[in-house]
Amino acid sequence: MTTAHLAFDETNDAIADRVRVMRSSAVRDLFSAATRADVISLSGGMPDVSLLPASALEAAMGAALRDERAIALQYGPTDGLASTRRVVCDLMRDIGVRVKPDQVLLTSGAQQALDLLAKTFINPSDIIIAEGPTYLGALQAFSAYQPDVRCIPFDEDGMRMDLLEAELKTIGKGNPRLKFCYTIPNFQNPGGVTMSMERRKRLLELSHEYGFFVVEDDPYGRLRYDGGHMVPLKALDSDVVYLGTVSKTFAPGLRTGWIVAPKTVLARINLVKQGTDLCGSAMNQVVVEHYFVDTPWERTLQGFVKVYRERRDAMLAALDEFFPPEASWTHPEGGFFVWVTLPPYFDTDSMLSEALEAGVTYVPGNSFFPDGKTGRNSMRINFSYETPEKIAEAIRRLAGAIQDRLDLYRAFIAAGAIKVPEEA
């Protein structure tokens, strides 16, 4: 008898079109490599949770165990517990944004916020604007909804507004396919750069002129090591959709992020979220609420900032000491990452196995572009997770791998196998 039995090695035939275009995250794939004891990982984006005092966690979890047990154990509202949303309002006020709890929706980390935004707004072929390179988790979240992502390069002052405006002119004013501009204005991931105030204002002007909304992703805003606080885009324009998270100020294991947006936008996202997860974890929301209410979290955060600053300084010093003159890199005032640029003919993607052999990992630059190809001559390196000594050693190893590659490329160039423009 002939049957139409769906064997599961034929899953490929059954999957949806949106899955065929997905790529696995290089960062995720590298997690296993990074757990080898002899390898120093500069590829992750993890906070160092060992810096969190045990007493703070105990205090935060106490409420879930005692007074608010019935709430913590039960299903909650789709948009999150009102008491936790009120705490988010307090956190937002600290950075200059005044909102009410009904303008806040809690998500399972900011990653879920990216998924929900794309799910709510993106039809296939709709246009999203982003920095290029940009957060690869955002690219993964968006890609499920098959958008056309247009990447705008940055310099040390963030996304280049001249290039954005040129792109917008080709898209056209009021183009219904143009939905939003996704930006990480503070200590960008992966770039490490911060958008200047002049450019923030210009981006908002352009959003009104061309008819799109701005999504401001701000996971690192509170982790500033130099310079003064920058006013969030959301504080300048109430139409901005702001994404926050406790992953870097408290802990990623709580999976608590939020969207601050106009109520009409949140009503749509709430509807989409019902089918996606019914509700977030009330347990986690109670713990998060009490962390920010019952513990000296600002002092704890100052401790994080002090440690991460030392690690950033160790990385920048090691880059100065070990990296060849062909390399350049950004100088982040906060956050977790430095972005390294090598000559145009350099390929960091194929160099990764050599680096792993030398005992260090990073994320190749092409991971941060929607085509998976652009940016091969660059890389993201992380300084939040390892000690200053290990960071210095990792940079020394990485410099060795780069130097070997440069020697190889020089031989190719001498042999005419790689063409280098005169001015290079």
Q: How many of the other CB atoms lie within 10 Å of CB of 280? A: 25
Q: How far is the CB of 364 from its own copies (least distance, A)?
A: 17
Is residue 166 within 8 Å of residue 309, measured between CB atoms? no
Beta carbons of 202 and 196 less than 8 angstroms apart: no
Give the nearer residue to its own copies in terms of CB position, either 8 or 228.
8
In whole angstroms, the minimum distance from the beta carbon of 163 to its own copies comes to 20
Cα angle, residue 341 at apex, residues 35 and 304 outer, rounded to 5°: 50
Within 193-347, where are the H helices? 197-210, 233-236, 263-277, 282-294, 297-322
**Smallest gap, in angstroms, from Cβ of residue 415 to its own copies?**
41
CB of 205 to its own copies, least distance (A): 10
Tokens at 330, concatenated? 């950004």
Neighbour count for residue 198 (Cβ, 10 Å): 11
**Cα–Cα distance measured from residue 326 to residue 420, given in angstroms and rounded to the nearest whole number:** 13
Least distance from C-beta 261 to its own copies, angstroms? 8
Shortest distance, position 212 Cβ to its own copies, whole Å: 6
C-beta of 13 vs 162, nearer to its own copies: 13
**Beta carbon of residue 49, minimum distance to its own copies (angstroms, whole number):** 4
Max CA distance (Å), the chain: 74
d(CA 226, CA 94): 18
Report the nearest approach of its own copies to the CB of residue 325 (Å): 36
Locate all alpha helices (DSSP H) within 144-256, ordered by sequence.
Answer: 161-171, 197-210, 233-236
Question: Which among 89, 97, 67 is positioned nearest to 231, based on CA atoms?
Answer: 97
- Residue 142 or 362: which CB sits closer to its own copies? 142
Is 101 exposed, middle or buried, given 0-12, 13-18 or 19+ CB atoms closer than 10 A? middle
- Residue 122 or residue 315: which is nearer to its own copies going by CB? 122
Q: What 3-state DSSP class applies to 175?
A: coil
**Nearer CB in complex with its own copies: 8/227:** 8
**For its own copies, the closer CB: 278 or 408:** 278
Contact criterion met (CB below 8 Å) for 383 and 360 = no
CA triple 382-114-106, angle to 5 deg: 100
Q: Which is nearer to its own copies, 284 or 348 (CB)?
A: 284
Nearer to its own copies, 14 or 414 (CB): 14
State which residue, 239 or 326, has the beta carbon closest to its own copies.
239
Minimum Å gap between C-beta 258 and its own copies is 14
